[in-house]
A and B are shown apart, each in its own frame.
Chain A
Amino acid sequence: MSYSLREAFNQVRSYFRNEQLDREVNEEMASHLEMAVEENLRRGMSPEEARRQALVRFGGVQQALEQQRESRSLPWVDVLRQDLRFTFRMLGRDSGFTIVAVVILALGIGANIAVFSVVNTILLRPLPFRDPQQLVRIVEKDPKAGESSKTYTADATQDFQQQNHSFQSVSGYFAFTGPDNFKLVGGGQPVPTTGLLVAEGFFQTLGVEPVLGRLFRSEEFVQHAQPVALLSYPFWKRRLGADRSIVGKTINLSNSSVVVIGVLPETFDFGSVFSPGAKVDLFVPYIMDDFRDDGNDLALVARLKPGVTQAQAQNETDQLLPQFYFEHKHPEYGKGYTGQLTGLKEYVSGKLRRSLIVLWCAVGLILLIVCVNLSNLLLARAAARSKEFAMRRALGAGRGRLVRQLLTESLVLAVLGAALGLGLAYIILSYLAHQGSIALPLLAMVRVDGTVLEWTLLIAVGAAVLFGAAPGLRMSASNMQEVLKDSGPGLSEGRKRDRLRSTLVITEIALACVLLVGAGLLLRSFLRVLDIDLGFEASHAAAISVDYDDGGNAAKRAAIWQEVTSRSLTIPGVESAGISDNLPMSRNRSWGIAVKSDQKNPNFIPVFVYIVSPGYLKAMGMRLMKGRDLTWDDLSNNRAVVILNETVARTLWPGQDPIGRTAIAGGMDAEVIGVISDVRETGAEDNAGAQMYLPATKQFGPEGSYLVVRSKLPPASLASSVMHTLREINPGQPATEFKPIQSLVDHATSPRRFFVLLVGTFAGLGLLLASLGIYGVISYSVTRQTQEIGIRMALGASQSSVQFDVIWKTLRLALIGVAVGIIASLVLARLIASLLFQTAPSDPFTFAGMVVLLGTVALLAGYLPARKASKIDPMVALRTN
């Protein structure tokens, strides 16, 4: 079939040499005719007869020319070009309509592109690792105590690594890294830096290769090895000026010399996959021998062997993990882990699937509303253009050609809208990708990629067909004689077209109704979440990570803490201050606590533990229900005391006063000195867990330290004086951020806020479009009925009765739409029930609010045309036409 290829190629070539080829074939035909004439003359015909005969035998020069053109070139391209040229002329002439249509489409399509990109990144696109389908996360089957029960000890991890047969490799990272746990020293002020400890083979397990240098080697995971670090790409770029010769150089991290061995690729963003919203600057080896006594602290990631299914691996895990001791050195601590394998992708984004699908549907509804709206606009235009089309058909344009012309117009509009929408989406996405405060995984990797462009094309064409089809078919089917006969505007129009437009508006209102109900339910849930008693007062408090050097001496530490706290209290505006090694709703860690009794095996329950200073509870705004706060004496005298929250007190000593009793906490006997009200630790929507607060003494060493300051002044205005005070005590204090506690709460509620904001925006958009639709239809019908109204007014109808009629017509549309919408919403709201928080899917307030809102908007949209109708001057209306 090579000749058809050659033919196609030649056709394309001919397309661009059209004029020359036309000239040639004209010349050829002219000479053909001359030859025929000459021959006829030779046969003895008269000159006229000779020419006539030649032309008859030739059979129509113009047809022959057309035929030749058609077979040599690409005629459909010409038609397309013609259609496009005509379309642009039409749209240009009606620029008001074009702008409105394109902007509406851009909003609808842009929102769709943006949401699709997010869905694509979080749900559809594989994780940016090698063979990501082989990666699994392993956590306890029934995690009760936050991170601590999602992690494993060094010993158990090592046992698992050595004994399993299902995995190519098992590795993990230290799950309790706080932000800014290091400081980068050298060249000016120390820079707060976040370094994550990763176990051997972590990057190899994920399949991440460095862009510079190498990964960690085994000999770097033993005690007293030369400290080394791998840098994240952004840190290398920002802090080290993208120095390509950095590998092998030494940097000063928290006053120890660390050799940089490599730089990780830009595509590897630890935070966005494993800990949304967190940034990690560099990675250092997790040396198992340093952590043997520290309990559960490794979050495990493993890669399945090829050919091993997750079920098989799960089977083996179920056999192995229960046999493992928590600590080899202390078999008396017991054994028995469980492990649930979850595909890493599922682990990262599984919980978000439902929310994202709801978002996707919401944005799909928006596009539907946009299409309905555009259909309506086009129908209005169609009415105005019906004469033009009837004329064109009378002049011989085929019905197919007219429909094609209309579809071309829709397509051009859709493509223009999509282009603008793409720009819009690009702006939204670049904004989203840089929102570290939104705790959604992978968000930093959101971008417009090939898949997104394909999706854009798909919805643009889909939308064009959807909104272009109805007006197109209607217009081409209309009876041309009737149209040409019609005397023009002024008389009420055929009821059929009116009914179609009304149906479209009702659809639009019903769709907007569903969106509003969805947004309303989510908003109410969000407000409920914000209303939760967190157990502390997030407003008016802020925290800062404090750096100090106590040389491992508890007494010295207590002195430093006391100095930091008391000097902070002298800052004007500071009401209270205290130190803790952990803050609520950030990382968490749990230890065991039990009642001290004579029994051999005390019944330990896992509790979140905070190592704190006096004043911390007050600074956080936590409520002490019973007993007393810690004192500096407790710290300096190494007193073993503990403050419990109500949950723990109730569990350990149900119905009794716990004050003065003895608990086994953190491995030693401690006297209960106080009880505070429960604090929501992991997130606003989770139940408050068990918590205890221990003094920072010799026995209870803190991991990091945050100074919390309570003040009526805004944190920003305090930041510099707090930093100044900290620098006076320790000139090496890095420039850590003075963070409002509210930001922790905001971070925890950010996914919900994100969804509420988006769905709310879509609902608002839907409402706007629906009101535009109502306005369009009503004001159009008023314009069409100008004469009729004029007659009625001439016959004595009052202004108010005319107004009432128009408004009533509007309300009727709105009411039908709302009724349909309510039924649809009742069905659909059930589907989002799991996303709601203390809100019923049939929440009457939400539904009532929606009805009021839509009713008001409909009234408003109807009022403007109604006023116009009542201002019609009968004389003028009757005189025109």
Chain B
Amino acid sequence: MGQSKLDLLQGTLDVMVLQTLQAMGSLHGYGIARRIEQVSSNEVLLNQGTIYASLVRLQQRGWISAKWGTSDNNRKAKFYSITRLGQKQLVKDTAYWQRLAGVMGRVLGMQSGGGDR
């Protein structure tokens, strides 16, 4: 094995799910999981099953809604979509992650022997 996969940080999966639903509209659990895998180019260590804990959590917080429907190949599945509240939360989370990424980038980009003078 080459590089090992990325462990998911606490709370990151929730944001990924929200963003996926924001981008793709209504999706079932399998679809969401596959989509995250594809977008992350299989770099994320994701047990697909863990997505269900995240889904129920987001649903209970009122950020996504769910209803039963039929998939393309005529299979019964639960379809999730993002709510108004979820969109607001996503805006907040996006800003947070971008700030964090920026800070992390700067911190890790520090030159050794650093300091201004």
B52 touches A64 (CB 8 A): yes
A2-39 interface with B by 8 A CB criterion: 3-4, 6-7, 10-11, 14, 24-25, 27-29, 31-32, 34-36, 38-39
Task: Name the CB-closest residue of A to B52.
Answer: A68
Chain A residues closer than 8 Å to B77, beta-carbon distance: 28, 31-32, 35
Count of residues in B whose CB is under 8 Å from the partner chain: 27
Q: Given the known A-B contacts A28-B78, A32-B48, are A7 and B53 also in contact in the complex, defined by CB atoms under 8 Å? A: no
Using Cβ atoms and an 8 Å threshold, which residues of chain A touch B59?
10
Q: CB distance B49 to A28 under 8 Å?
A: no
Interface string of A131-164 (1 = CB under 8 A from B): 0000000000000000000000000000000000
Chain B, range 84-110, C-beta contacts under 8 Å to A: 85, 89
Closest to B89 in A: A3
Which of A11, A61, A71 has the largest number of chain B CB atoms within 10 A? A71
Identify which of A6, A34, A57 contacts B61 (C-beta below 8 A). Answer: A6
- Tell me whether A58 and B49 are in contact in the complex, defined as CB-CB below 8 angstroms, given that A3-B62, A31-B75, A35-B71 are known contacts: yes
Report the bound CA distance from A525 to B5 in whole Å.
85
Please, how many angstroms separate the alpha-carbon atoms of A269 and B99 in the complex?
A: 71
Chain A nearest CB: distance from B43 CB in Å? 15
Q: What's the minimum C-beta distance from B56 to chain A, rounded to whole angstroms?
A: 4
Residue of B whose beta carbon sits closest to that of A25: B52
Q: How far is the CA of A729 from the CA of B97 in the complex (A)?
A: 105
Contact partners of A27 in chain B: CB under 8 A: 76
Given A31-B75, A32-B29: A14 in contact with B60 (beta carbons within 8 A): yes
Q: Is the CB of A60 within 8 A of B49?
A: yes
Q: From known contacts A3-B62, A14-B60, infer whether A58 and B48 are also in contact, taking CB-CB under 8 Å.
A: yes
Produce 1/0 per residue, B52-73, CB < 8 A to A: 1110110111110000000101
Given A28-B77, A35-B75, A36-B30, A58–B56 Cβ distance below 8 Å? Answer: no
**CB proximity of B93 to chain A, nearest CB, Å:** 12
- Which residues on A sit within 8 Å (CB–CB) of B52? 25, 28-29, 64-65, 67-68
Q: Smallest distance from the beta carbon of A29 to chain B beta carbons, Å?
A: 7
Q: Which parts of A645-674 form the interface with B (CB within 8 Å)?
A: none
Inter-chain contacts of A3 with B (CB < 8 A): 61-63, 85, 89
Taken together as a complex, chains A and B put the C-alpha atoms of A57 and B78 apart, in Å, by 20
Given contacts A28-B78, A32-B29, A71-B56, contact A59 B61 (CB under 8 A): no
* Interfacial chain A residues near B50, Cβ < 8 Å: 59, 64, 67
- B3 at interface, CB cutoff 8 A: no
Q: How far is the CB of A552 from chain B (nearest CB, A)?
A: 89
* Chain A neighbourhood of B30, CB < 8 A: 31-32, 35-36
> A51-62, CB under 8 A of B: which get 1 and which 0?
000000111110
Selected contact of B53 from candidates A11, A28, A39, A67, CB within 8 Å: A67
Shortest B74–chain A CB gap in Å is 11
Cβ A64 vs Cβ B56 within 8 A: no
A70: Cβ under 8 A from any B Cβ: yes
A63 contacts partner chain B, Cβ-Cβ < 8 Å: yes
Instruction: Please indicate the chain B residues that have their CB under 8 angstroms from the CB of A39 in the complex.
Output: 34
Contacts of A58 in B (CB 8 A): 47-49
Tell me which residues across on chain B come within 8 A of A639, comparing CB atoms: none
B49 surroundings in chain A (CB, below 8 A): 29, 58-61, 63-65, 67
Determine the chain B residues whose CB is within 8 A of the CB of A11 once the complex forms: 60
Q: Is the CB of A64 within 8 A of B63?
A: no
CA distance A61 to B47 in the complex (A): 10
A174 to chain B, nearest CB (A): 72
Would you call A70 and B53 a contact (CB within 8 A)?
A: yes
A72 at the interface (CB under 8 A from B): yes
- Bound together, the chains give a CA A869 to CA B56 distance in angstroms of 65
User: How far does the alpha carbon of A4 sit from the alpha carbon of B63 in the complex, in Å?
Assistant: 12
Select which of B28, B53, B73, B89 is within 8 A of A71 by beta carbon.
Answer: B53
Chain A contacts with B in 62-85, Cβ cutoff 8 A: 63-65, 67-68, 70-72
How far, in whole Å, are A110 and B105 apart by their CA atoms in the complex?
Answer: 67
Query: Which B residues are closer than 8 A to A by beta carbons?
Result: 28-30, 33-34, 47-50, 52-54, 56-57, 59-63, 71, 73, 75-78, 85, 89
Q: Which residues of A contact B (CB under 8 A)?
A: 3-4, 6-7, 10-11, 14, 24-25, 27-29, 31-32, 34-36, 38-39, 57-61, 63-65, 67-68, 70-72
Q: Can you give 11 A-B contacts (C-beta < 8 A)?
A: A3-B63, A3-B89, A10-B60, A25-B52, A27-B76, A29-B29, A39-B34, A60-B49, A64-B50, A70-B53, A71-B57
Starting from the known contacts A31-B30, A61-B49, A72-B56, 8 additional A-B residue pairs (CB-CB under 8 Å) come to A7-B57, A28-B77, A38-B73, A60-B47, A63-B49, A64-B52, A65-B52, A72-B60
Per CB-CB distance, the 4 closest pairs between chain A and chain B, nearest first, are A59-B47, A64-B49, A10-B60, A67-B53
